[in-house]
Amino acid sequence: MSLNQPIANFSNLNVWIVGASSGIGEACAKWFANAGANLVLSARRESALDQLAISIRTEHPNSQVRTIAFDVNHQDQASGAVNELFQEWSRLDILLFVSGIYTPVRAHDFDLQVTEQMIQTNLMGPMRIVSYLMPYFLKQQSGHIALVGSVAGYSGLPKSLVYGPTKAALLNFAESLFYDVKPEGINVHIVSPGFVATPATAGNDFEMPALISAEQAAIEIGKGLQKGEFDIHFPKKFSYFLKFLRLLPYPLYFWILKTFVKI
């Protein structure tokens, strides 16, 4: 059973992608453009956004795509981006919040500056944008909010001392948000990818199981929105395994990590 309204057709829907300059966000921008959506692309790097917009317009000459560069960690920039968005559009159909950072952290290199930066970007960033958008969504009584988390938010994992908790909190936020806004006609999706080949994972010094491309991730996100799924997770063989681990007693859970996770 779909918890959200399925999206049968993306043609002419207004989609705002925050974190569109590379990786999953860039791949999703191209996927939505292929599906006929109108796009506003956002990230900090204006030059990368401009290049992506030019690429999309070249491939889809009739596409409506523009850019709004801003930093999700700056309150004034974030609120200004929302105001600029609604100067362009009278309504927003889909927010896809992809922006996030990943730094591997273990207890022996626990750095509070790195911690605060990840919390600001991965948790406060999406919360900030959703808070500014909520009056508009409530007024239009419709729309989709899709927040990209991670399977690292399912349970504690090696090298995820900070990143994992930010994604776990985002999952909890999405669950609470869904409960509050579903009666108002607003749809909420939490997207939990496994390992995806992006600039963020390029520096990992360990084997990444079930690694997929950013393009594959974009397809999975699109399919999840089409089906109206609340919990969009992939690749399934990896994400279901981590969901299963969460159900195990802690002695068995930690034994499996120690035995099979070579990090």
163 catalytic residue (yes or no)? yes
160: buried, middle or exposed (CB in 10 Å: 19+, 13-18, 0-12)? buried
Question: Which residue among 102, 132, 154, 163 is the active-site one?
Answer: 163
Nearest to 101 by CA among 23, 210, 172: 23
User: Taking a C-beta distance cutoff of 8 angstroms, is the pair 158, 110 a contact?
Assistant: no
Give the span between the Cα atoms of 152 and 165, in whole angstroms. Answer: 8
The single residue listed with the structure tokens 């990143």 is 163
The CA distances from residue 32 to 12, 26, 41, 184, in Å, are 10, 10, 11, 25
Nearby residues of 42 by Cβ (< 8 Å), 6 or more positions away: 16, 17, 18, 19, 20, 49, 67, 68, 69, 70, 81
Residues tagged active-site: 163
